[in-house]
Each structure stands twice: as structure tokens, then as C-alpha cells.
Amino acid sequence: MRYASLFPTLALTAGALLHAQEAPPERVYELEALEVTAASGITEDVNRIPQTIDAVSPAAAEVKQPSWVGELLNTLPGVYMVQLRGPIDAPSVRLPVSYDNTELYLQDNVPLQSPIRFNHAAFAYSGAMTSLGGVEVLKGPGTALHGSDAFAAVINVKSLEPTQAFSGNFRTTVGEYGLLEARGEVSDGIGANQAYRVAFSTAQENGWREMTGWWRQQAIVRHRWQGDDTEVNTILLGTDFDSEMAGTHTPESYAEDPRDDALDPAVPRDQAHEKAQYLRLSSEVTHRFSPVFSLQVTPYARWIDNTYMITWEPATLPLVEDETGTFGLLSRLYADWGEDSQTVLGVDGELTDFATATVQNLPTVEVWGEVYPQGPHYDYGVDYRNYAPYVQHTQAIAEGLVLVLGLRYEHARYAYDNHLSSGAQDAFYRPADREDDFEAVNPKLGLNWEFARQQHLFGRYAHGFRIPMAASLYELSSAQTDFRLEPEQIDSYELGYKGALGDDVYLTASAYNMRSHDGLTGVTTPAGEITANGGEREYRGVELQLAWRLRDNLTATLAGALQDAEILQDQPDGADPRGVNGKTPHYQPERLAHLDVRWWPAFAHRRLRVDLGLQYLGPWWIDDQNTRQTPEEYIANLRLAYDLDEAWTVTAKLLNALDRDYAAAAHDSGYGPRYRPGNPRTLSVGLERRW
């Protein structure tokens, strides 16, 4: 009876597949020759870049009818986005699921946030679900254009560009658990050389678990001005976001009632929220001086206000308020010397003022022998200053063989200003005012060989880094004492293939080995506990994506990854008090796969599109000691779209169609296993109008 509601849909789909006929040309699905911009700042053919870059095109993004960015990214090889609650997520790209700054997030090629205050949930207040211009994922350390946080990957979310001809659309969606979404956009020309696009969205959901409701409002305004030699693209992005904060389950509470919020009874439900307001203005100015030289300058201003309750500390329940204000500049001089020969000279800079306060409103309490006083725990500001000159050169060195060389130098400074008493105070240690400087030199080397038409082999070496976030340096417990840190480093080696195997099959495959060093780890010294550089890890894997047009109206895409990781060294001196050296780090999926089947049945007069997705999530270790592992998981998703006419489309989406119970996240933080259940079977329907 649990699956009874699925039988009519599955029967109709199976019967229609048996009678599928060739669709007329207007419904033919073409294997796309994707173009990306995140690697060099300008549009490039993804096949000619010596690096694994997976992308979701605007058309493919529309097919998914996404409510959160993971619905797009989880279709790519080696990518897993943990859905924590609603659109709040945590990423895993080749590395374990991380809540730290191991991925660089971009929106339209401009950083979404500053390294000083990385938020793993930044896509919740990005424009990912408002104007679906596609997503690009650059695997491994970024190119010379990318600095700190481009450690495991660079993820670039794109909005749709303005069009000279009038166009518009409006979509509304309703679904189970109180889901209500509406989004629309309009674009048109202004005279002969200007165009605009305005997009907005609003969404809310009660959540299938208690305390997982959320709402979000977003708007994107784009304007393009084109002259004879100059083009100016201006983007204004604004988001207002509010999410309830459910907790994680113990094995017992997970088995008893996965829908429970798993929060301690002491947590006031009406205050257990995360709220964010986000505003960013950027203007990309491109001027061509001659057929050889062009200059691209992108100033941007960004403001983020983020507030949340630390619900996982129920005895104190402190509130955190962060405010980040940024002015940045991306500047690039392009020299096009001829076919397959280009030089990019650039300088990036950022000025960020970051202020944060953590305040306990509950009365003073003693927890595990430590006193947590009512009032402020931390209150400080940091002025972040960064500059980074770089060069990237592309050169054909033989027939079909192209070399890409890059070098980036980065300098960052934190000027920390503590607004409370310094030193050990109750349960806390607060450093005195100081400055911290970070430097990194990042070489890049890539080779791309087109050994036959549309057949490419590539190899790449890249060095990446990430500077510590402010909280790692200045929010310390009483067991700690003052320390300094250097950036964590990573070296990545990669070999791969990209090519069309005939007219109907496209294949990408890559193998990589990445080794990180100077990772952050806790060390006991005579002066107290400190955080030090010295952790080492190795990550190895194989990724594959195969797109196959089985018929003109039937295509399949298979994405898969095998991943292996090892903790080489946990402590700087090689000691192993936790017994984890040689073990697999927790939260590292061993295998990931996603199968997509799309079909346009001829019996429906070319109006119906069926998209069937099957996600496979392999096991991962819950703890670094490798004592407990998650089971394998299979999640099926079904999406339908039916064109009523040229202007109207009805859609339906059934996520977790087989209603499987599974853990979207599981880990042991030192207090025993904790589970975050995945969403049950969820149905939503929508209506779209196009102009």
C-alpha cells in the first residue's frame, strides 16, 4: 500500500516506452558542446581546457525543476551535496563532506563570499534558483584566476544573460509539506545597444521534519550596455532568507521517529533559526583596445548579515551575529596573439570588514567543569586585506597540442580587534589584538592534446591553498592558547579524456591524485592546547560521465565516481593518539553514481518530456577510526513536463519516488553517531507561462 500511488505513473511510463517512436526534429535532444567561463573569465569550449570541468546547461537545469542547487550538482560525477534542511547544504567534491572553506563559490564569476567568513550554505542565499543560467564545477584546485578556497573545486552559478528580443516567463509550484514557489523573469532590449533582465523568486516550505521550515526571497537585476569596443555587464543580487534549525538524530531517536526535530527540549523552537540578508552589486567592464589587447575590470560590493542560534549547545544556546562588508576588484588584461596563443595578466584585490558577536542570553551555567557566563562570549572585528597578481598563458606547441601555464601569488592580512578582555576568561580564550599574514604561491600546468577530431587527452598539475577562517584563529576554548597558522596546501595531478564517440555518444573520464599538507590539527603543548599545521591526507579517484543518444527522442547520461582517501598524518610529529593514520577520513563517499534517462514520447504529440533519475550513494565511514559505515543508498526521482501549447507547460516532480529511508548525512563528532535523515517521497506540481 505504501507504493500504491506510484503504480499508475510507473505503468504509464513503462507502457509508453514500449511504444516509443522517433520524434520530429523540433524535439530532438542534442548532445551539447558546452562552453564555460570560470576557467579564464571568458567563454571557452570545455573540451579545450586541460582540466575536469563538469557543467549543467541552462536547458538541463530547467529540466530538473530544482528547488535547491543539489538537484543539479548531484547529477555530476564525484559531486555530492548533503541536503541538511530545505536549501541548506554541505558539499563534497572529491574530498569529504566539508563545512570549511574547501570550495570556492562564485556567482556569475564573482566570489559569493570572503574566505574570512566562509558559509557552506551560501548557495541558499545565492541566485541559484532564481535565474537558471547553468552551473560550472571546476574539479581540483582552480586556475590562476582563483585564490583561497579553490582547494577541492570551484563552483560557479550563472544567471541568464539579458536578451535584445523580448522574452519572459513565470512559474509557480506547489507541493507536499507546504512547498510553495513562484519565480519569473523578463528580458528585453533598450534601444540598439542596451538590454536588461529582471528575475525574482519566492519560496517557502514547512519541511517534512519538525523545525525544518524555511522561506527565501531573491531578486536579480542585470543590465548590459554595448558600444563599439566596450561592453558593461552590471548585476545586482539580493536575497532574504530564514530557516528553522532541526538537529541530528542519535541512532535511537533516528529509529524511533526520523520526523522529530532531534533538538534538546531546552531549545526554544521560536528562536532556533538561521537568518541571512545578502546584497551584491558587480559591474564587469570589458574594453578592446585592438585586435590583440582587451581589458576586463570587475568592481564589486557585497554585504552579508547572518544570524543563527548554536542549537547544538543546549545548556548555553548562544546567538551568533555576523556582518560582512566587502569591496573587491577583479582586473584582467587579455592578449590574443593568434590561434591557441593567449596571455592573461591579472590582479585581484579585496577589502572586507568583518564583525561578529556571540552572546549567551541564558543565565550563567557550569558545563563539564567550565563556566559559561551570561552575556558576550566573543565580540571582535577583523579587517581583511588581500591582493593577488597572476599570469596565465596558453600556447600551441605542436599540431593539436596546447600548453597552459599559470602562476598566482596571493597575500592576505587579518587585522584582528578584540572588543572584550583578552586571554583566558571562563570557558574561553580570546587572543589579544594582532595581525596575521598569509602568503601562497600557486603554480599551474596543463596540457591538452586533440589527437583526432573531437578527441582530447589532457594532463594537469595544480597547487591550491586555503587560509584559515577567522573563527579558527580567534574563537578559542579555555583549553587552548595563542597560536599562529599558515594556509593549508594541496597538490593535484590529473589525467583525462574528453571526446565524442561518433555522433551519438560523448564521454569524459579522468583520474586524479591530490595530496594535502599543513592541514589543521589539535596539538597539546606545555602551554596548553593549540591548533597547528601538520595534517596530511591523500585523495585518489576515477570519474566518468557518458552521454548517449539512444534514439532521437531518448537519451541517457551516466555519471560515476570511485573515490579513495587516506589520513597520512594526523599530528605534525607523526604521533597517532586517535589511531587514525592510514584510515579513511569520515564523510568520504566511496562510490557515487547518477543515471539520467530523458524521453520525449511521440504518442503524446511531442508535448511530453519524461526525466527519470536514479542516484546511487555508496557507503562512507562515520568516524575517522573506521568503526562504523553507512549502507548503500538508492534514490529514484521522476520529473514530467507537458506542453499544453507554445506558451503553457504543466510540470510534476516526484523525489525519492520509492520512498526509501536513508541518511543524507551521518558522522561521529566525538559524542557518538549522529544522523540526518533524507527526505521521504515528495510530490510537487507546477505551471509555467512563457512570453
Helix (H) or strand (E) holding 437: strand 434-452
More confident residue, 31 or 399: 399
Among 332, 329, 244, 347, smallest CA distance to 288 is for 332
Beta carbons within 8 Å of 426's beta carbon, 6+ residues apart: 370, 371, 372, 373, 478
Rounded Cα gap, residues 220 and 226, in angstroms: 20
Class of CATH domain 4-690 = mainly beta
Q: What is the pLDDT of residues 552-584, one digit of tens each?
A: 889 999 999 999 999 999 999 999 998 999 999
Residue-range domain boundaries for the chain: 4-690
Helix (H) or strand (E) holding 77: none
Q: What is the pLDDT of residues 354-407, one digit of tens each?
A: 999 999 999 999 998 999 999 999 999 999 999 999 999 999 999 999 999 999
Task: Look at residue 66 and tell me whether its pLDDT is greater than 50.
Answer: yes
Span 411-416, average pLDDT: 98
3 state SS of 144: coil
Span 292-313, average pLDDT: 96
Instruction: State the SS3 of 229-255.
Output: CEEEEEEEEEEEEEEECCCCECHHHHH
**Measured in Å, how far apart are the chain's first and last C-alpha atoms?**
43
DSSP per-residue codes, 333-402: EEEEEETTEEEEEEEEEEEEEEEEEEEE-SPPEEETTEEE-SEEEEEEEEEEEEEEEEEEEEEEEETTEE
pTM for this prediction: 0.93
Instruction: Count other C-beta atoms under 10 Å from residue 662's C-beta.
Output: 18
Residue 623 in contact with residue 672, Cβ under 8 Å? no
**Per mean pLDDT, which range of 8-17, 480-489, 585-594, 667-676 is the poorest?**
8-17
Instruction: Fill in the DSSP letter of residue 621.
Output: B
Q: What is the pLDDT of residues 245-262, one digit of tens each?
A: 999 999 999 989 999 999
As a whole-number percent, the residues of the chain with pLDDT over 90 amount to: 81
